[in-house]
Amino acid sequence: MEIRYGTKKLARACNEFAKANQEWGPERARKVFQRLGELRAADNLLDYSRLPGTGFHPLHHNREGQFAVELNSNWRLVFRPLENPVPCLPDGGIDLEKIAGTLIMEVVDYHGD
């Protein structure tokens, strides 16, 4: 799957382990790199969503159209599809099988929002 990043700073942290370690600490940095590797290896978001242990889930309310996967504790890797418009199923849901690219938006603990 293709991966892009919301900011240059985020791209650097997601592609240079030393920067990730500095930004998020070693445990979270390792998990970010693991999740990004899993995303790259998947053909599409449906394949990725079926991987066990990722905690893949769609987000709601002010984060509608975004997805998250678990890192550690309450921390999540948040992303959205690159496809514009986002492909939909006949019932109006998102067609994960047609999503072959993601925009990484942030590494965040949004549970206090």
Q: Is residue 91 part of a domain?
A: yes
Range of the domain at 38: 2-108
Alpha carbon distances (Å) from 109 to 17, 30, 68, 91: 20, 16, 11, 31
What are 30-49's pLDDT values in tens digits? 999 999 999 999 999 999 99
What are 62-95's pLDDT values in tens digits? 999 999 999 998 999 999 999 999 999 999 999 9
CA 47 to chain centre: 14
Q: How many domains does the chain have?
A: 1
Q: Is residue 113 part of a domain?
A: no
Q: Cα(84)–Cα(99) distance, rounded to whole angstroms?
A: 10
